[in-house]
Structure 1
Amino acid sequence: MPTINGMKDTITPASMPPILTYKVNPGTPTLKLPALACDSHVHVFGPAVRFPFAENRNFTPVDAPKETLFALHRKLGVGRCVIVQSLTHGFDNRVVEDAVAAGEERYLGVALVPPNVADAELQRLAAAGFRAVRFNFMTHLAGSSNMDEVLALTPRLKVVGMHLQVHFESSLIHSLGPLLSRSAVPVVIDHMGRVDASLGADQPDFAALHALLKNPMFYVKVSGIDRIDPHPQGPQPYANGVALARLLLQSYPDRCVWGTDWPHPNHTHVPDDGVLVDALARIAPTPSLLDKLLVQNPQSLYRFAS
């Protein structure tokens, strides 16, 4: 089975100037979110003096700590959240664990671990509020994964009540999809499989993603409208990305979740999180769909205690 190799860094981490990946003052959305609305995909970075960045990272972000994330969610009207460990911090999941502990059971985590992680560490992470582990299959990210090893891990994830989250380039849907169907636990696909939204719903990569979701073991994050359609201008920002997200939600209303992807690492531009929230009115145009996307589906998948 394939191994997708990450690209090596061409400059040393010490020489990387910090990159601002998020708007310090995002717009206030006009859309009022339902109570307990969940932002199912964010990251936290630092503060680096307390949570050092990984040596093999491919960029250095400015600090985006939990306090900034919590303030953003208060502004957006978000009541729950899932924080995904970033390769910026590598396998040291303490930065997410710290944020989850401060989130008073309204924040949960997704860890990064090696495929040969010890059972005791999986049990510890699960007890600390981690609900999944994530693996990357992206050529621009170091540390990409071997599918044989990932699949061998999934029975052990099942024991501790975790699922599998995967991030891959859109062209890999055709080879990875059939392999991921062998997972012993549910599989969550990040950012709509990173398809090119300008190619529409009939493109082979999106068609393969849509077909894969017929398998009830698969979920998809309809996050990343700004990644698959990097056009924030106009009266309907990210229109092509919104169209694909809406189609996925209408087709699979019980297996879609949404996230801002704050603070937007490795991006083509700096999105406005208020704009991303307002786009939900077009992705989920009825109150029932919005509630499924933001409340019911995250509760079913992540099992919030409060």
Structure 2
Amino acid sequence: MATTEAPTFVARPSKPKLKLPRGACDTHVHVFGPGARFPYDPGRATVPADAPKEALFALHDYLGIERCVVVHTAAHGFDNAATADALAARRGSYRGVALAPTTISDAKLKALDAAGFCGVRFHYMPHLKTGASIEDVIAFGRQLAPLGWHLQIHMHADRIAELAPAIHRAPVPVVIDHMGRIDASLGLDQPNFQALLRLLDDRNVWVKVSGCDRATRQGPPYADAVPFARKLVAEAGDRALWGLDWPHPNHRGPIPDDGQLVDLIAEMAPSDGARRALLVDNPQRLYRFSTRE
């Protein structure tokens, strides 16, 4: 029998010192289960710990986060039901990014669109299944364009330069996850981070300044990783997005304190204007949140 994984999130995070602006958006979280209602993808060696929508809503209310983008987790495969359930519960203020094959029908995409989804994520990471080739994904973007959707790419830092030429050809916006999954110990001048900066010269490309807790090699408070986020905000401040990455799946270091992650925003985006762009204006443009909530 498969064992159940231990939770990877802090049940009682610290209270942030930073007061977030009205309409602040967390653009990268997941919901897991509950497995009794939303079964996990079969064939897994372990069963994920549940991280249901109620726990997510309570966290956001506690932190002062009003809007959210729920990114569907690979733990549920292509069955987006758990994420759709969370979106339905906070209609208008929560949007979704789906997992789907590039062969999905227009009818199914339209059904996801009606449920609040606005993009599709693809993985190019060693620990996650890699499905479609980058060329197929970019071609698939033409199917997303009529809906106003975007592509989301989660890739290992070593693949940024390799995948960049195809990403430049995307017919829809492309969001790069978790600062390109760079290794903070290699410094700002490392080839992988420089490749990410060059990729962001393309105004069709966006980046999430999430994952300091994954990029770090020093641990909390992630002093080695924050300069990368600050540089990305400085260079692409009108296309940078922020997210907690709750409940921090597949995390290898100390479990992050989500209150501490909120306070890091002040270091990533030092001015009120930069924080408003990061947390409010940029998500509003990309995810097209309802103005009536």
Does TM-score exceed 0.5, indicating one fold? yes
Give CA-to-partner distance per residue, 1:229-277, whole Å, 9 cap, x none. 15334xxx11121100000001111000000000000111311100100
Secondary structure (helix, strand or coil) at the match of 1:239 reads: coil
1:72-151 to 2 correspondence within 5 Å? Answer: 72-151=59-138
Question: Normalization by structure 1: what TM-score?
Answer: 0.92
Moved more, 100-109 or 139-148: 139-148
Q: Which residue of 1 aligns with 2:230?
A: 246
8 A Cα contact 1:136 1:143, kept in partner: yes
% identical aligned pairs:
51
Q: Which residue of 2 aligns with 1:47?
A: 34
**Any stretches of 5+ residues in structure 2 without a counterpart?**
none
Question: Normalization by structure 2: what TM-score?
Answer: 0.96
- For residues 111 and 242 of structure 1, what CA distance do their matches in structure 2 show? 28
Paired residues, what number? Answer: 290
Matched, 1:192 2:179: yes
How well do the aligned residues superpose, as a CA RMSD in angstroms? Answer: 1.1
8 A Cα contact 1:166 1:189, kept in partner: yes
- For residues 218 and 59 of structure 1, what CA distance do their matches in structure 2 show? 35
Give CA-to-partner distance per residue, 1:271-293, whole Å, 9 cap, x none. 11001000111111110000000
Give CA-to-partner distance per residue, 1:26-65, whole Å, 9 cap, x none. 1111111001100000000001111000014464221100
AA in 2 matched with 1:265: P
8 A Cα contact 2:175 2:207, kept in partner: yes
8 A Cα contact 2:184 2:217, kept in partner: no
Q: Which residue of 2 aligns with 1:304?
A: 289
Q: Which residue of 2 aligns with 1:223?
A: 210
- For residues 150 and 180 of structure 2, what CA distance do their matches in structure 1 show? 17
**Any stretches of 5+ residues in structure 1 without a counterpart?**
1-13
C-alpha displacement at 1:142, in angstroms? 2.2
- For residues 143 and 173 of structure 1, what CA distance do their matches in structure 2 show? 15
Matched, 1:171 2:177: no
8 A Cα contact 1:58 1:141, kept in partner: no
- For residues 150 and 219 of structure 1, what CA distance do their matches in structure 2 show? 17
Q: Which runs of 4+ in 1 moved over 3 A?
A: 56-59, 230-233
- For residues 249 and 56 of structure 1, what CA distance do their matches in structure 2 show? 40
8 A Cα contact 1:39 1:259, kept in partner: yes
AA in 2 matched with 1:256: A
Give CA-to-partner distance per residue, 1:124-165, whole Å, 9 cap, x none. 111111010000011111244312221221100001111000
Q: Cα 1:27–1:226, aligned 2, differ >3 Å: closer, same or farther? A: same
Q: Cα 1:224–1:167, aligned 2, differ >3 Å: closer, same or farther? A: same
Identify the match of residue 189 of structure 2 among 196, 202, 221.
202
